[in-house]
Structure 1
Amino acid sequence: MSGHGTIRLPFGNAEYDFNVAKHKQLFELQDKCGVSATGMDGEIIHIPSGPLEIFTRLRGGSWREADVVNAIRLGLIGGGTTVPETLKLMKEFVEDQPLGSLAPLAARILYACVYGVHGDELGKPAAEGAKSEAEDSTSSVPRSTEPAPE
């Protein structure tokens, strides 16, 4: 893995790295997936949605188009795919596709952002943070109690 929250997943015709845990992608995701509300003075205000809120919507089936599309788009960019290549992939494999079939991918991208990826250790380069299965199996600490995304 190339950093905290990076996960390699099949998408379209290949496997790609996805990461929305980077600040730039996370802030944009929160803003794009936010909600609007009317304030006490009648003014419409925008409320960003945090990554756990977006993940919960994706897992619970109450997602919005913005949740699915932006998680995939920003995940590709954060994972290292160039913007032109990301736009091409989005046009080919997301635009005009049933979003329900893409929601599980978006949920896995957000899961990696919220809960991390096995082997990632925040603050350490990927090579230092990664452990082999043999090293990891000697620990008495359970890996995770969080369910894997569906």
Structure 2
Amino acid sequence: MPSGEYQAAFGDGEHIFRLRIGELEELQEKCDAGPEFILQRIYSGAWLVADIRETIRLGLIGGGMPPTQALALRNRYCGEGALFTHKALASAILAAALMGSEGDEDEPPGEMKGETSPSPEDDGGSPASTKPAGSSGSTRKRLRRRTSGG
């Protein structure tokens, strides 16, 4: 599966979800927040209706579904009384977009693109570290540190 794709059951069957740059930009406009902030709102339970519904709709579009069909499917299965049940799906779609999907061939699991350990020559000959000092080793925390402030 290409980076950022997530496949899951929704409504009438299995669907591919993907948030590419265009969908992420539309999502942040609809939700008045950046994608990582939206993900944190969902995780914390402070989500807005649009955080769930728009993530699913745009994920379907990014996964290849025509916009009118994605809207109809979202409206049919993610309406009143069903939002909480789709919280996990919305967070998984966003997490795949921000951190990649399991099985992405272009990057080993748990490593960020461009992240390298210093060579022994660069640090006075001591062995190279596989984790930055003070890191918990969490990909999500490394992503947050790497993307914040710039």
TM-score (norm 2): 0.68
Describe the SS at the equivalent of 1:7.
Answer: strand
Give 1:90-105 correspondences, 5 Å limit: 90-105=74-89
2:4 matched to 1:11?
A: no
Which amino acid in the other structure matches residue 17 of structure 1?
Answer: I
Q: 1:6 to 1:31 in 2, by over 3 A?
A: same
Shift of residue 98, structure 1, vs aligned partner: 2.5
Deviations 1:63-121 (A, max 9, x none): 00010011000000001111121122112101224211111110111110111102225
Q: How many residues align?
A: 114
- Root-mean-square deviation (CA), in Å? 2.3
Q: Is 1:51 equivalent to 2:35 in the alignment?
A: yes
- Equivalent runs, 1:121-132 vs 2, <5 Å: 121=105, 129=106
Match of 2:91 in 1: 107
Measure, in 1, the Cα distance between the counterparts of 2:107 and 2:97: 17
Distance in 2 of aligned mates of 1:78 and 1:106 = 14
In 2, Cα distance between equivalents of 1:107 and 1:97:
18
Among 19, 27, 30, the alignment partner of 1:29 is 27
Matched AA of 1:114? L
Cα separation, 1, equivalents of 2:11 and 2:138: 30
**What do the CA deviations read for 1:11-50 (whole angstroms, capped 9, x no partner)?**
0121100011x1110100011111xxxxxxxxxxxxxx11
Q: Which runs of 5+ in 1 are unaligned?
A: 35-48, 122-128, 132-140
Unaligned 5+ segments in structure 2 are 109-129, 131-136, 141-150
Aligned structure 1 segments of 4 or more residues deviating by more than 6 angstroms: none
CA pair 4-90 structure 1, distance change in 2 beyond 3 A = same
2:87 aligned counterpart, secondary structure: helix
What SS class does the counterpart of residue 10 from structure 1 fall into?
strand
Does residue 76 (structure 1) correspond to residue 60 (structure 2)? The answer is yes
Higher Rg: 2
Matches of 1:79 and 1:13, distance apart in 2: 16
CA displacement at 1:130 relative to structure 2: 9.0
